[in-house]
Amino acid sequence: MKIYVYGTGCGAGGLIDSALPAEKVKAFVEREGGGTFLGRPVISLDQLAGSDFDILIVASRDAEHVERECAKLGIGAGKLFYLKNHMKTVDRNQSYDMAGKLLGEHFTEGVRCSEKLIRVPLWTERERISGPGSDNDYVRLKTLEAISMRLENVAGATAELGVNRGAFARWINELLPDRTIYLFDTFAGFDPEESRDCGAGFREAHRNTTVETVLAALPHPEKAVIRPGLFPETAVGLDAERFALVSLDADLETSTLEGLDFFMPRINKGGYLLLHDYNDPKLPGVRKALERWEAEHGKVLAVPLCDVNGTLVIAF
Ligand SMILES: C[S@@+](CC[C@H](N)C(=O)[O-])C[C@H]1O[C@@H](n2cnc3c(N)ncnc32)[C@H](O)[C@@H]1O
């Protein structure tokens, strides 16, 4: 089989170390040919175009360039197999068959593109977020997973203000099963006064939950402390409580500000607050609430996520 590898960088080196001995590679390909890499000749794409070959494994991040140049040179897209594919949001690989046979299916499955930009599992052997509900916003959930792995030496409970049906709380409870999880929600939708300008559909959709629905969604319901009713009245008696992780997902300005006022001084060093919808133009009150909080207390240390609704991760 005539195998070529595009690239002479870390991607190509890693491929040779892990799945494809250099002796099996006829030549490496670069923008400018010349010289050798790992004892094999390095040629240009022009030189490759004239030859008959079975597969060009693209071990470079520059997939757009390779795709464009190959098209110009009449190299069929079906002969290309992109390795850096898992970093992209569009799958360029037309087939996994030949590459699977050559490199092993385990290897090629790992490059499948499914918008999974962080490979799973992270450091552990076990994928911690999988099964029902795990398709809900990959970046948000994987960030939660990564954060949960940094909380080992941080004391404190977990909490969510704005639980709705428990779609996110379920994962906090799964990832941090030994911690108390406080769940604050009316479980009957938004405060009618605060949500008076919101659409009827938005208001009705958030009324559609019960405490039982949420408890049934939790893998460790015995760790849940349900605080039903309008926050912050429902935080009464919790002044001395301290938190390692808080999800603040109340959607509207006043409630978000109330949440910041209560939780910000109660999160232990090393802990995190995930402010959902911070970069969501449909819910501008969330950003305004943080601006108001920062005007009074100073700027927070935070990283905005590129998840679906623009969560802001505040670090303590
Ligand atoms: C977008 S939903 C939460 C979604 C949930 N975190 C998830 O990821 O699936 C917002 C929730 O905030 C609740 N909420 C907003 N303001 C509140 C307040 N002041 N007190 C209690 N619940 C509130 C609403 O009842 C609603 O269920």
* Torsions phi, psi for 271 (to 5 deg): -85, 180
Distance 198 CA to ligand 1 centre (A): 14
Query: Do 45 and 161 fall into the same domain?
Result: no
Residue 152's CATH number: 3.40.50.150
Reduce the DSSP state of residue 285 to 3 states and report it.
Answer: helix
**Which atom of ligand 1 lies at the shortest distance from residue 187's CA?**
25
Residue 21's CATH number: 3.40.50.720
Write down the residue that tokens 């959607």 correspond to: 251
| Structural domain of 274 | 138-315
In a domain, 163, yes or no: yes
Query: Do 75 and 158 fall into the same domain?
Result: no
Query: Do 91 and 226 fall into the same domain?
Result: no
Write down the residue that tokens 């795990």 correspond to: 134
In a domain, 93, yes or no: yes
Query: Do 86 and 151 fall into the same domain?
Result: no
Distance 301 CA to ligand 1 centre (A): 24
The response to whether residue 3 sits with its C-beta less than 6 Å from ligand 1 reads no
Query: Do 97 and 159 fall into the same domain?
Result: no
Q: Which of 112, 98, 107, 93 is nearest to 2 (CA)?
A: 98
The response to whether residue 186 sits with its C-beta less than 6 Å from ligand 1 reads yes
In a mutational test of the pocket of ligand 1, which residue from 209, 251, 274, 277 has the highest number of ligand atoms less than 8 Å from its CB? 251
- Report which secondary-structure segment, H or E, holds 257: helix 253-263
pLDDT tens, 249-271? 999 999 999 999 999 999 999 99
Query: Do 257 and 148 fall into the same domain?
Result: yes
CA distance 22 to 13: 9
274 Cβ contact list (under 8 Å, min separation 6): 143, 144, 147, 245, 246, 247, 248, 249, 311, 312, 313, 314
Query: Do 144 and 101 fall into the same domain?
Result: no
**Which atom of ligand 1 lies at the shortest distance from residue 165's CA?**
9
Q: How many domains does the chain have?
A: 2
The response to whether residue 206 sits with its C-beta less than 6 Å from ligand 1 reads yes
Query: Do 104 and 174 fall into the same domain?
Result: no
In a mutational test of the pocket of ligand 1, which residue from 206, 207, 258 has the highest number of ligand atoms less than 8 Å from its CB? 206
Write down the residue that tokens 């927070």 correspond to: 300
Query: Do 211 and 105 fall into the same domain?
Result: no
Write down the residue that tokens 């494994």 correspond to: 57
The response to whether residue 271 sits with its C-beta less than 6 Å from ligand 1 reads no
* DSSP string over 195-238: TTTS-HHHHHHHH---HHHHHHH-S-GGGEEEEESSTTGGGTT-
In a domain, 301, yes or no: yes
CA distance 156 to 139: 25
In a domain, 120, yes or no: no
In a domain, 41, yes or no: yes
In a domain, 46, yes or no: yes
Query: Do 103 and 218 fall into the same domain?
Result: no
In a domain, 192, yes or no: yes
Query: Do 158 and 258 fall into the same domain?
Result: yes
The pTM score is 0.81
The response to whether residue 250 sits with its C-beta less than 6 Å from ligand 1 reads yes
Tell which of 88, 109, 130 closes a domain.
109
- Rg of the chain over CA atoms, in angstroms? 25
In a domain, 250, yes or no: yes
The response to whether residue 307 sits with its C-beta less than 6 Å from ligand 1 reads no
* pLDDT digits (tens), the chain, 316 positions: 999 999 998 889 989 999 999 999 999 999 999 999 999 999 999 999 988 999 999 998 788 889 999 999 999 999 999 988 766 777 888 999 999 999 999 888 888 876 566 666 667 767 788 777 777 788 899 899 999 999 999 999 999 999 999 999 999 999 999 999 999 999 999 999 999 999 999 999 999 899 999 999 999 999 999 999 999 999 999 999 999 999 999 999 999 999 999 999 999 999 999 999 999 999 999 999 999 999 999 999 999 999 889 999 999 9
Distance 14 CA to ligand 1 centre (A): 46
The response to whether residue 251 sits with its C-beta less than 6 Å from ligand 1 reads yes
